[in-house]
Amino acid sequence: MSAQRASQLVEAGLWLRLSGDHEGAKRLFEQALKLDPTNARARQLLDSPPPAPQQAGAVSNLDWGLATGHTPTPPPVGKSTPTPPPITKSSSTRPFGEGPPAGTHTVRLGEAEAPAIPDVPRFEDPHGEVMITGGDDDAPADNSTLVFGLSGVPVPPSASAGSLPQTGTLVFGGAAARGQGNAPPQVAPAGGGTLVFGNDRSAPPQVAPVAPASTLVFGNTRDAPLQAASAEPGGGTLVFGSGKETVAPETSPVAGPASSTLVFGAPGQSTPPPIAPVGESSTLQFGTLAREQNQVTTDPGLPPFAIDEEPPVEEAPPVKSSSTLQFNFDDMVPGSAASPRAPSAPPEEPQTAWETSNPRIDISQLDLDTPGEGAGFDLISSPAPAPKPRSPAQLREEVATLLSGAKDLLDLDDHSGAMELINKALELDPTDAAALKLKDRSERTLQAMFESKLGDLMVTPRVKLKDDEIIWLNLDHRAGFVLAQIDGSVSFEDLFAVSGMSRLDTARILAQLVEEGVISKG
């Protein structure tokens, strides 16, 4: 019973974390661990840091229902999967904090709204590496790790993963710190090339190093990552767009010589595309794959993808904006033509402190099934997805879970966190009596709390800062409106009346302004 309760708390905590209330989430994870000390997920979430603040807004709009863990994480690739070789000194993947090895650069493109980059880095691959030209260092290293996107920190080395000469790894975007998502890409060993564009939420692609296999992942793989099966030499895998829910790879098929798999768009939650076809066949998937598969099988006679000795592309694609990434497929060439394909390693637990605190950005939950401009690629600017229909039983279960979490938070006196969960529950079922009752209770308590911070409501507050100081505050337009009404002639009580917002919202804003020293209590 307590284990079940703990699980519910973990779920509720995840809601909170997504909505940006990391403190509330932490409390729930701690509560879950108290109830069930063996709850590994709770421990892991507690240990793992919340995602970067910029993400909160975007993530909060996501359809969590499809990613709450109802779908099991795909099993690791067969037991025979070889352990990735240890990191060797020749690898340019480096622990965080260390200086970059000679000849390599770690590039991070923008944290939020990256402006257009005037000087697009040029990619060259003279020795089976992905590098940026123009570096002022010598470039003797055989391997490079480039991390593009929002993670904010360079990709760390994986203790278990090693890089061998002739290996290149590029990660565009970031992976979220959830589930197994902390594990960085397992760097392909000898000759293997791995490119991950976008985000792999739960677990990043585990591309086992079997030379000369190449794997490119564009966009997002959601809960279930791309687990490239052991591939024979010459195999290539590309995933464009988003794998949603389950992209359970075929673990058994083995990519035969020169086999290629291309998945464009967003595989849906049902049958995943076979990623590693056997033999000469190539699979290309374009667009959105929701529930049914859109498979376009290419002519078996086509040559395998990206196994060229010399990559034809030298220039990186220009980044137009942070919200729209446009890739020229021709430019995206895996690291080494000679990389042999290797069986993928199972996702591993975080090994280092860095790994557990890697704030990986997760945009993988964006619903790429939504048709629209640039679907599958216009990841960040995609409109918010329409809520998926749920069965009444599912709804009840979710509401119950949320309310249970809310009650726990209320017991812990975290009314703000509780309100988040209650509001979420009411979004699912606006008529739920228990939720409405809890909301009322919470609102009253919160209101009393905020009002007590204000003191006598008949007092006339005053702005303490000058106009040129105010503009440096971090306020939203609602707080700005309330602040504009404070002119030394209206009391707190009057402000409740003129704000045009609910009394609770106004009290919250006023309490915040008082707390931050923007206004005085009389």
Partner 1 sequence: MAEKEPVIGIDLGTTNSVVATVQGGAPVVIRNRTGSNLTPSVVAVSKTGKRLVGQIAKRQAITNPQDTVYACKRLIGRKFSSQQVQDALKVLSYQVVCGEHDDIRVKLGGKDISLPEISAMVLRELKADADQYFGRPVTRAVITVPAYFNDGQRQATKDAGRIAGLDVLRIVNEPTAAALAYGFGKTVNGKITVFDLGGGTFDVSVLEVGNGVFDVIATGGDTYLGGEDFDNRVIEWLVMGFAKEHGIDLRKDRMALQRLKDAAEKAKIELSTVKETQINLPFICTPPGGGAALHLQKALTREKLEELCSDLVERCITHCDQVLAEAKVKPGDLKEMILVGGMTRMPRVVEAVKKYFKRDPCKGVHPDEVVALGAAVQADALTSEESHVLLLDVTPQSLGVAIAGGYVRRLIPKNTTVPTSVTELFNTSKDEQTTVKIMVLQGEAELAHQNELLGEFILTGLRSAKRGEVEIEVTFEINSEGIVSVSARDKETGQKQSITVTASGGLTEDELQKILEEQGDYMLEARASDELKNKRAELDAVMKEVGDLLPKVQKVTEGSEFGVDAVAKAVKGLESARRAREQGNLAAVSEAVDTLNRTLNLFRGVIQRIGTR
Where do contacts with partner 1 occur on this chain (CB under 8 A)? 57-58, 112-113, 381, 456, 458, 467, 470-471, 473-481, 483-485, 489-490, 494, 496-503
Phi, psi (5° rounding) for residue 452? Answer: -65, -30
CB of 290 to partner 1, least distance (A): 25
CB of 490 to partner 1, least distance (A): 7
What's the token pair of residue 177?
A: 């710190």
Q: Is the Cβ of residue 353 or residue 484 nearer to partner 1 in the bound state?
A: 484
Q: Is the Cβ of residue 18 or residue 224 nearer to partner 1 in the bound state?
A: 18
Per the CB < 8 A criterion, the answer to whether 341 and 231 are in contact is yes
CB of 55 to partner 1, least distance (A): 11
Phi, psi (5° rounding) for residue 396? Answer: -60, -45
Sign, CA dihedral 322-328-331-332, equals positive
Which residues sit opposite 43 in a β-bridge? none
Q: Is the Cβ of residue 431 or residue 489 nearer to partner 1 in the bound state?
A: 489
Q: Is the Cβ of residue 73 or residue 381 nearer to partner 1 in the bound state?
A: 381
Find the Cα–Cα–Cα–Cα dihedral 32, 36, 38, 44, rounded to 10°.
Answer: 0
Q: Is the Cβ of residue 38 or residue 489 nearer to partner 1 in the bound state?
A: 489
CB of 445 to partner 1, least distance (A): 12
CB of 452 to partner 1, least distance (A): 10
Q: Is the Cβ of residue 286 or residue 481 nearer to partner 1 in the bound state?
A: 481
CB of 455 to partner 1, least distance (A): 8
Phi, psi (5° rounding) for residue 2? Answer: -65, -30
CB of 21 to partner 1, least distance (A): 17
User: Nearest 5°: CA angle at 294, between 241 and 361?
Assistant: 15
Determine the 3-state secondary structure of 396 from DSSP: helix
- Tally Cβ neighbours within 10 Å of residue 446: 18
DSSP 181-230: TTSPP----TT-EEEE-SEESSS----EE-TT-EEEE-SEE-SSPP-PPP
DSSP 356-397: HT------TTS-TTS-STTTTT-TTTSPPPPPPP--HHHHHH
CB of 381 to partner 1, least distance (A): 8
DSSP code of residue 436: H
Per the CB < 8 A criterion, the answer to whether 196 and 217 are in contact is yes
CB of 473 to partner 1, least distance (A): 8
Q: Is the Cβ of residue 218 or residue 496 nearer to partner 1 in the bound state?
A: 496
Per the CB < 8 A criterion, the answer to whether 474 and 515 are in contact is no
Closest C-alpha to 245, from 376, 68, 40, 395: 68
Query: CA Rg, the chain, in Å?
Result: 25
CB of 475 to partner 1, least distance (A): 5
Q: Is the Cβ of residue 116 or residue 497 nearer to partner 1 in the bound state?
A: 497
In angstroms, rounded to a whole number, what is the distance separating the alpha carbons of residues 467 and 465? 7
Phi, psi (5° rounding) for residue 353? Answer: -60, -35
**Left if phi > 0, otherwise alpha if psi is -120 to 50, otherwise beta: which for 468?**
alpha
Q: Is the Cβ of residue 40 or residue 384 nearer to partner 1 in the bound state?
A: 384
Q: Is the Cβ of residue 292 or residue 468 nearer to partner 1 in the bound state?
A: 468
CB of 288 to partner 1, least distance (A): 23
In angstroms, rounded to a whole number, what is the distance separating the alpha carbons of residues 326 and 317? 7
For residue 146, the surrounding DSSP H or E stretch is: strand 144-148
Q: Is the Cβ of residue 113 or residue 413 nearer to partner 1 in the bound state?
A: 113
User: Nearest 5°: CA angle at 281, between 275 and 286?
Assistant: 55
CB of 53 to partner 1, least distance (A): 12
CB of 454 to partner 1, least distance (A): 12
For residue 169, the surrounding DSSP H or E stretch is: strand 168-172
Q: Is the Cβ of residue 144 or residue 499 nearer to partner 1 in the bound state?
A: 499
Sign, CA dihedral 483-488-493-495, equals negative
Q: Is the Cβ of residue 199 or residue 506 nearer to partner 1 in the bound state?
A: 506
Give Dmax (Cα) for the chain: 82
